[in-house]
Structure 1
């Protein structure tokens, strides 16, 4: 163990992986302390942000710009655990496209957390498999579950949230107090949360939906608060962005997933982790960047909330 205030590679026990710079910014803003950089081997091309959340020393790494998908995330994770060999588990934190349904009322800014379901470990690669008779696509393979320590922490946090509010709003408030420039990562009041019918495509080159037919918006009950809800279940991960409502619904129906992301499937078998996604769009043609920063912040705040539940390691089994 290093002297107080001086940290070595082996002092870091938790790894966070992000795909986008805005996800990295949100995750960094959740650190209680920021530590000095440490050298890494020449073969490790990652640039790390080091710090502390609660009792845990944390390493944050991000995919290079323009390099997304399962392979890129896997490379970041593999290099991270090679350079910081005391890492016990990871969190992949960032944004995703939600799958709204009558069973799960997912809204923009909500958080989806990967949880094992059916015979899947929490993340399923929706574009990996083979085409069989009658052109049907057969999904292949399973990915590892999150470590037991994270599953136990999720259970504990879910129980707490049955009787009390989550800490996400408080963490977002602390973020803006520490970093006033990050006000764009708070709830985007100027943006509308509109869910269009699955078969109704965006009709103009305008990024926002000003020209889209409001009659094709699905009416949903107004929530009493803007506090994000947290959903637990399967996350669909792959190498392609889903921007088509019928395709979203078909894959979700076949696999039972709650949201889509890019990259998480590449990590699961090499880097034991929990995937946390803030919902920034509905994986349809109406998606735009208006909710991305807030969604990245809600996911990062949930990650901080989880780490507050996980005890300091010592002899803790993962």
Structure 2
């Protein structure tokens, strides 16, 4: 077995990929072009219980983490991300990758399928993603939005603009 490449510091990793389910983590790890050993000089924060996989996709060194098995939801995702950032302050972009079970189909032109990448785009005063549990049921089968998630990082919105221009 070939020894894994080791980078000389955790600062070489600027993208974090968080998976909610173990099967989604397996898919993330299968996407790696190259797996790495834990970087030299990596110091885990005392509150960080995450298990990491280090590697490269294309030109980007990424670190993969997942929610604890059997523990799901926004609190678990926030804990995983906070712990990751405490140990890896060089992370610039973090993505939670998983199955978008709550993606609406507002019209027939929206053909969203398993495997598609969906990213929130700010509109007006909204950040672009309305979290499923941020709605309040009202009488008459109506719903009232209680809130929304913040907008994606500018670096991702710039990439989105480039993709949109390509498709024009």
Q: TM-score, with normalisation over the residues of structure 2?
A: 0.80
Q: Is structure 2 residue 116 aligned with structure 1 residue 115? A: no
Partner of 2:80: 76
Partner of 2:9: 8
SS at match of 1:92: strand
SS at match of 2:56: strand
Residues in 2 aligned to 1:126 and 1:108: alpha-carbon distance in whole angstroms? 18
Q: Cα gap change, 1:43/1:112 in structure 2, threshold over 3 Å: closer, same or farther?
A: same
Query: What are the superposed Cα offsets for residues 17-39 of structure 1, whole Å, 9 maximum, x if unpaired?
Result: 11011111111122222111255
Is the contact made by 1:19 and 1:63 (CA closer than 8 Å) also made in structure 2? yes
Across the aligned residues of Structure 1 and Structure 2, the Cα RMSD in angstroms comes to 2.5
Aligned equivalent of 1:106, options 89, 109, 112: 112
User: Bigger relative contact order, structure 1 or 2, given CA contacts below 8 A and separation 6+?
Assistant: 1
SS at match of 2:89: coil
Matching of residues 213-228 of structure 1 within 5 Å? none
SS at match of 1:74: helix
Q: Is structure 2 residue 144 aligned with structure 1 residue 160? A: no
Aligned equivalent of 2:50, options 43, 46, 52: 46
Offset, 1:14: 1.0
Is the contact made by 1:127 and 1:139 (CA closer than 8 Å) also made in structure 2? no
Q: Is structure 2 residue 80 aligned with structure 1 residue 93? A: no
Query: What are the superposed Cα offsets for residues 176-223 of structure 1, whole Å, 9 maximum, x if unpaired?
Result: xxxxxxxxxxxxxxxxxxxxxxxxxxxxxxxxxxxxxxxxxxxxxxxx
Q: TM-score, with normalisation over the residues of structure 1?
A: 0.45
Partner of 1:63: 67
Query: What are the superposed Cα offsets for residues 242-294 of structure 1, whole Å, 9 maximum, x if unpaired?
Result: xxxxxxxxxxxxxxxxxxxxxxxxxxxxxxxxxxxxxxxxxxxxxxxxxxxxx
Structure (1/2) with the larger helix percentage: 1
SS at match of 1:90: strand
Q: Is structure 2 residue 35 aligned with structure 1 residue 34? A: yes
SS at match of 1:91: strand
Equivalent pairs counted in the alignment come to 159
Is the contact made by 1:17 and 1:60 (CA closer than 8 Å) also made in structure 2? yes
List runs of 5+ in structure 1 lacking aligned partners: 163-318
List runs of 5+ in structure 2 lacking aligned partners: none
Q: Is structure 2 residue 147 aligned with structure 1 residue 146? A: no
Q: Cα gap change, 1:109/1:89 in structure 2, threshold over 3 Å: closer, same or farther?
A: closer
